[in-house]
Amino acid sequence: MAFPTETVYGLGAAINRRGAVRRIFSVKGRPLGNPLIVHISHREQLEQVVSSVPPVAARLMTRFWPGPLTLVLPRAAALLSEISAGLPTVAVRMPAHPLALALIRAVGVPLVAPSANLSGRPSPTTPGHVLADLVGKIEAVIDGGPCRLGIESTVLDLTSGSSPVILRPGGVSREELERELGITVSSVGRFRGAGPPPRVTKPRPCLPRSGLLLIRGVPERRRRLIWSLIRYYRGRGMTVAWLNPAGAKGATSGKIGLAPLLYGRLRRCELRGVRVILAEEISPRGLGAGVMNRLQNLATRVIRV
Ligand code: AMP
Ligand code: MG
């Protein structure tokens, strides 16, 4: 059963049903080594999921739940091992969506709920996206319209030692976490760790013939390069799309911006047979960090101008 959350649509299974949990992996084509996030509707359910709630976790729950913050904590001994892919920890959050909360309450136990798409495809932010990937493979999708945030939750590891670590940027920003905790929150991942991308000043024949190019650098030079890339690819008969953040209100300031539109735009590009997507860097503040992380992961090539 697929259902809406404030981030993306999730594919749910009760955490105490081994067959259903296993089916999530097979339906999505998801590797068994990729652990699932447990979704709860009220805090009393935590004892079915985690073995302890340190004070810093309790504080974050009070401030950000229900909401797009997933916490990685020590797992409860009785939790099905498939859920956490054999790890001693488990990821858990409380979604901020009335239909998601009502569903969890109706089932009576927490739900694992990865995104309701085929593994490797853009996450679904509308019921249509869910059906495009999973029609015939799942029983139903609860229609809650488009997701408000459109980007997955922030995953914060609270088990890695003294300070919390962002494993995946998302719906709650690092700035918000730091403000709440009054300490520095670090992050891992390609976005921060990647070395300087190649610098090019004009299109070269060795540019990829399909995929996503992430263009970084000062806005004026980005735009100049993008226009010349558009001419370059069109001149070779290829369909090219510009994932233009200016079309999304607040995108450059990082408020909500491009996030709710990102996955839908990527799917539309696919449907239109777009060969090359040109994506512009946006400010990695607020939700922008999550958007940049997804773009970086998708990029065939990063070009700095
Ligand atoms: P998805 O459900 O596809 O949005 O992805 C869930 C995310 O949470 C993935 O990035 C997982 O690697 C991460 N995750 C889930 N459980 C754990 C865990 N126990 N430790 C670290 N990361 C986790
Ligand atoms: Mg996913």
> pTM for this structure?
0.92
CA of 9 to the centre of ligand 2 (A): 9
72 lines ligand 1 (CB under 6 A): yes
Which atom of ligand 1 is the closest one to the Cα of 37? 15
Which atom of ligand 1 is the closest one to the Cα of 152? 4
Average pLDDT over residues 92-119: 98
85 lines ligand 1 (CB under 6 A): no
pLDDT surpassing 90 at residue 191: no
Choice from 73, 147, 167 to test ligand 1 binding pocket (greatest atom count within 8 A of CB): 167
Of all helices (H) and strands (E), which one includes residue 235? helix 219-235
Atom 10 of ligand 1 has which residue's CA nearest to it?
168
Q: How confident is the model at residue 203 (pLDDT cuts 50, 70, 90)?
A: low
Domains of the chain: 2-181 (3.90.870.10), 211-304 (3.40.50.11030)
State residue 162 phi and psi, 5-degree precision.
-80, -35
Average pLDDT over residues 125-136: 97
Nearest ligand to the CA of 113 is 1
Choice from 25, 30, 37, 90 to test ligand 1 binding pocket (greatest atom count within 8 A of CB): 37
Q: How confident is the model at residue 287 (pLDDT cuts 50, 70, 90)?
A: confident
Lowest mean pLDDT among 43-52, 128-137, 239-248: 239-248
Spell out the residues 6+ positions from residue 146 whose beta carbon is closer than 8 angstroms to its own: 125, 126, 260, 264
Torsion of CA 119, 125, 131, 134, to 10 degrees: 20
